[in-house]
Structures are given as C-alpha cells and as structure tokens.
Amino acid sequence: MLWLGVAYLVALGGLFVTAFWTTNEFSNTLVRVWNTDNFEQLFTLDVYRTITLRTIGVAVAVTVIDAIVAFPIALFMAKVASQRWQRIMLIAVLMPLWASYLVKAYAWRAMFSSTGPVNSLLDPLGLHLGYGLPATVITLAYLWLPYMILPMFAGLERVPDSVLEASADLGARGGTTLRRVILPILAPAVFAGSIFTFSLTLGDYIAVKIVGGTNQLLGNAVYDSALTGSNLPFAAALATIPVVIMLVYLAAVRRTGALDEL
Amino acid sequence: MILSRTAKAALAAVTGLVLLVIYAPLALVVVNSFNTSRSFSWPPDGFTTKWWNVAWRNTEVRDALGLSLQVAAVSTVISLVLGTMAALALQRYRFFGRDAVSLLIILPIALPGIVTGLAFQSLFKSMLGIDLGFWTIVVAHATFCIVTVFNNVLARLRRVGGNLEEASMDLGAGTFTTFRLVTFPMLRSALLAGGLLAFALSFDEIIVTTFTSGTSRTLPIWILDHMFRPNDAPVVNVVAAALIFASIIPIWIAQRLSQGNELVGAKT
C-alpha cells in the first residue's frame, strides 16, 4: 500500500545524496564521489546568494500583499455579509482556484503586455509596468490569494460576535478592537495561510518565466541546472535551499499554533 | 456588530474591487480569444471566432488534451484507492510509525513542486533507468493526488466515528459487507470531493510533469511550450479561454452535491 510513499522517500533521499556528487565537466556524466563542492560553490558564488535573497524577498512581499488584501475580504465575508452572500462570495473567491495555474499566469502576461490593459491605463500617466519583478510579485500574489483568504475567513468566522460586542461595550473603538482582539485571534490563521503563499512562491519558476522578464528565482536556477545544464548534483544542492528555508519557516510558525489551522 | 455603517461600506467597496481584480485577467483572456488582432492590442480591434476554429482543428492540442485527461483519470483512480486505504488505516488502527506515515503523505504537497519533480526524475532516470512517459507521469501525479483524497476521507471518518461500523459488525456483517453497505456510502461524497480535487490537481499540474514526462506532452506542457511563440498566440489564448470555461464544471458539481461546502472548502 505504501509503495508510492516509499518510492517518494527513496527519490527524495536519492536526490540529496546526489547533491554530494559532481558531474564530469567533459562528458557530463555523474561522478559518484562523495564531496561538498556543490555546497561550497553555492556559498561562495554571489549569483546564488543574490537569487536566494531575491526569492525570499519576493516570497515575503507576496505573503504580505496577500495578507493585506485578504483581510478586508475575509472580514466582510465573515462578519458583514448575509448567509446567502457569504455562500456566493465563497464560490466567487474559490472559482479562480479551480482555474488552471498556467491560464492565470498567462492571463497576467496578457494584462502586462506592452499593448495590454494595464499599460494602456498607465501610459497616459507616463508610467509603464512591463514584465519584471513587480509583475512577478503581483502575479504570484494573485495566484495564491485564495490560500490566504480561506484560512482567514475560517479564523474570523470562529470569533464570536459577542466578543467583539464585549470589546465595544468596554469602550474600545473599532480600531482598538481590531488591533487588540481580532488580530491576536487571527494570527494563527494568517500564519497558516502564509505557509502556502511562502512555500508556493519558493518553488515557483513558471510564473517568473511568464511575467518576470529576465529575472530568476531559485526555482529557475534549479530548473536550469537540472534540465538545461544537465548538472543534476548541483541542481539537487540548489534544491536543498528552499527545503531548508521551508523547514526553518515551519519550525518558526509552529509556535504560533498555525499548523493546527491547516 | 461593532462595525460602523461607513466601515461596512468601505469593506464592501474593497471586497468588490478585489473581486474585480480577481476576474479581470480571466475576462481578458476570454475577450482576447475573440480578438481579431494577433498581438491582442487593447482595446480589441474586432470580433472573430476564427481562432476557436483554428484551435479546434489543431491535432497537437487534441492529443495533449487526450493525454492530460488520461493521466488525470488514472492518477485519480490510483489516489482514490490508496488514499482511502491510508485514511482507513490511520483512523481505525494505532500502529508503530503512524505519525510518520501521515507526515509522509502530506510531504509531496508541502515541499516545492520542483523538488518533488527533480526527485522523481532522478529516481526514474538514474536509479531505475525507466524511460519517461505516460506511467512515470501517472506515478508522480498519484503521489501528490493521494493527499486530497486522504484529507477528505480522514475528515469524514473523524466526523462519523466508528459506531455504525461496529453496529454493522455486531449484526453479523463481515468486513467486506460492512465496507460495501456502511463505510462506502458514508464516504461517497467525501470520495467524490477528493477525487474531483485530485483530477483537477493532476490535469493542471505542470512542474512535476515537466520533470517526469520525457517527450510526451500534456496540455499544460503544450501551452507552456507555445506561449512564447507569437505565431501560436491566438491558439494558446483560445485553449486558455476554454480551460477557464472548463473550470466552472467542478464548481457546478460542487453545488449539486448536498455537502457542497465540503468540496469548495476542500482545497485549503
């Protein structure tokens, strides 16, 4: 029954063993000698440090944007909308989740194209937003937004109205209630959502290809060295970076109780 | 509720705006599929159904679509069987390494797709020496599709508990009769939800597929291959528009299900 799980574990294990091998520069064949050259290269070459930092930056930006955008929608859905509207909006928010990832990224390629709607709006203002990092961040934030709205909505729905009324009765204004009652309760849900937005961004290389111009993220570097450069050991070493970042992130978020919200 | 009238209005306005931004890009793709201009200049030049015709006759697109549907169907069946078995085993029995197994099942979804893809490629190519093709894609897809089935079934099992099954056994039904007459009917809608998700996940997958497909091309791979060629742009756009329409189907099915909520919420 667990053959797939075993196959997967063997594959993962194999991958990380491969990270300690090298390829022969002339014949491009695997040299199965244990060494840490790949990791030394990773730490000494500036390119990879830049790419790693850029990837983390994009992941943080995407997560923050999603959290900010998702909050009013989740609040509206949970506390303002009637039952019927809540249901309609849940579907409206989730419909795009079912649409193909590729189609959505492609849609943003059309939005940001030099003759597309975004630039036909911006051109009169003397601005231009072409393919590049900002476009990547917007596209990724768009792609992962439902993953942030849903846990937030679930978290807010669990806050009883009586708690908010109690806060108001004790003299707190809307802003104070928001800051001292709603946000602390909501924190685990936000972190739960951020696990998705963060890990999905770390592993992504296709959206960057589609709307990112010439910019590269970690995923692209892994992809390039695995398929184009056919240097599997180096790709494997590179791939450990997002895994390590994700493990550190999970460990950090675990304290907030976010894992129970998944 | 503590929110003032203005705060509510502001929230509604922001929500409306965000929903608009969510749907604008999708609408653009649909509009562009009827655009006479090859370069999709905005606003559109004129209306034509020519590209839909061209795309319909494109055999490459049809082949890719066929492959995608087959892969998704087979992976869904595999993950339904294995996911249900795993969920039953974990919920009903306590055994050594139980937590490790549940972590293992979730791992393929938690790790970046590129890591999973790379791991499978090195497994198939360097370790096992298998040619990449239909079955390697299916195995890779089934691995992460199991999670959706597993989660749905596990949630259902937790909710209904084991009392009904015990009652059935007490009344003299054997293990298989109990499964057929009691367990399976309880699980049916959860299985449908999990299966639908698994199908959608596999149909849409591109990253793991890139690493495990070799020369065969699923629909997402075809789209990616042709996206950067200006000549193919109209056809790619029609395929994208068609996929947007197709994504209404699972939502529609979800609504038809009595436990519709479970399905729409299942993807979290």
Query: Among all residues of chain A, which has the CA nearest to that of B249?
Result: A98
Mutate to test the interface with A, among B51, B111, B139, B249 (most CBs of A within 10 A): B111
| pLDDT score, position A262 | 55
| pLDDT score, position B143 | 85
Mutate to test the interface with A, among B109, B115, B146, B227 (most CBs of A within 10 A): B115
Mean pLDDT is lowest, of A77-86, A195-204, B249-258, for B249-258
Q: How confident is the model at residue B30 (pLDDT cuts 50, 70, 90)?
A: confident
The dihedral built from the CA positions of residue B23, A219, B147 and B70, taken in this order, carries a sign that is: positive
CA of residue B16 relative to chain centroid, distance: 27
Mean pLDDT is lowest, of A144-158, B92-106, B150-164, for B92-106
Q: Single out the residue of A36, A240, A211 nearest to residue A129, CA to CA.
A: A211
B82-139 per-position pLDDT tens digit: 888 888 887 777 777 666 776 677 777 777 778 888 888 878 877 777 788 888 899 8
Query: Among all residues of chain B, which has the CA nearest to that of A151?
Result: B268
Query: Is B75 within the bounds of a domain?
Result: yes
Query: Is B9 within the bounds of a domain?
Result: no
Query: Is B29 within the bounds of a domain?
Result: no
Q: Within 13 Å of residue B5, how many CA atoms lie on the same side as its CB? A: 0
Query: Of A23-27, A37-41, A192-196, which has the strongest mean pLDDT?
Result: A192-196
Distance CA(A24)–CA(A31), nearest Å, equals 6
| pLDDT score, position B268 | 38
Query: Is B95 within the bounds of a domain?
Result: yes
User: What is the residue-averaged pLDDT of chain B?
Assistant: 80
Phi-psi region of B216 (alpha: psi -120 to 50; beta: other; left: phi over 0): beta
| pLDDT score, position A2 | 58
Percent of chain A with pLDDT over 90: 8
Residue B263: CB atoms within 10 A of its CB come to 24
- Six-digit token string for A97: 């989740």
A98-136 per-position pLDDT tens digit: 788 888 998 888 888 877 788 877 877 777 777 888 899
More confident residue, A97 or A29: A97
| pLDDT score, position B267 | 41
Say whether A111 and B25 touch across the interface (CB within 8 A).
yes
Strand (E) or helix (H) holding A22: strand A22-23
Name the amino acid, one letter, at B190.
Answer: A
Task: Say yes or no to pLDDT of A213 above 50.
Answer: yes
A64-96 per-position pLDDT tens digit: 999 999 988 888 888 887 888 888 888 888 777
Say whether A11 and B248 touch across the interface (CB within 8 A).
no
Rounded to 10°, the helix A37-44/A46-75 angle is 70
User: What is the residue-averaged pLDDT of chain A?
Assistant: 80
Q: How confident is the model at residue B160 (pLDDT cuts 50, 70, 90)?
A: confident
B23 CB within 8 Å of a chain A CB: yes
End-to-end CA distance of chain A: 26
Say whether A164 and B2 touch across the interface (CB within 8 A).
yes
| pLDDT score, position B70 | 93
Q: For the residues A222-248, what does the mean pLDDT come to?
A: 80
Q: How confident is the model at residue B80 (pLDDT cuts 50, 70, 90)?
A: very high
Task: Say yes or no to pLDDT of B17 above 80.
Answer: yes
Distances (CA, A) of A146 to A49, A142, A188, B193: 31, 8, 17, 18
B100 CB within 8 Å of a chain A CB: no
Range of the domain at B257: 46-267
Query: Is B27 within the bounds of a domain?
Result: no
A174 CB within 8 Å of a chain B CB: yes
Strand pairing partners for A23? Answer: A30
The dihedral built from the CA positions of residue A18, A24, A28 and A32, taken in this order, carries a sign that is: negative
Kindly report the CATH class assigned to A54-261: mainly alpha
3-state secondary structure of B229: coil
List the CATH number of the domain containing B132: 1.10.3720.10
| pLDDT score, position B264 | 44
Query: Of A31-35, A184-188, A225-229, which has the strongest mean pLDDT?
Result: A184-188
B167-224 per-position pLDDT tens digit: 888 888 888 888 888 888 888 888 888 888 888 889 888 888 888 888 888 888 888 8
Say whether B114 and A89 touch across the interface (CB within 8 A).
no
Q: Which residues of B touch A205 (CB under 8 A)?
A: 114, 207
When divided into structural domains, chain B yields a total of 1
| pLDDT score, position B72 | 92
| pLDDT score, position A116 | 78
Query: Is B50 within the bounds of a domain?
Result: yes
Distance CA(B47)–CA(A199), nearest Å, equals 41
Q: How confident is the model at residue A141 (pLDDT cuts 50, 70, 90)?
A: very high
**Minimal Cβ distance to A18: which of B28, B122, B224:** B122
| pLDDT score, position A77 | 85
B81 CB within 8 Å of a chain A CB: no
**Please, are residues A66 and A144 in contact by the beta-carbon 8 Å criterion?**
yes
Query: Is B156 within the bounds of a domain?
Result: yes
Domain positions in chain A: 54-261
Mean pLDDT is lowest, of A118-127, A188-197, A253-262, for A253-262
Q: How confident is the model at residue A61 (pLDDT cuts 50, 70, 90)?
A: very high
| Among B residues 183-212, those touching chain A with beta carbons less than 8 Å apart | 200, 203-204, 206-207, 210-211
Instruction: Report how many Cβ contacts below 8 Å link chain A to chain B.
Output: 233
Task: Say yes or no to pLDDT of B229 above 90.
Answer: no
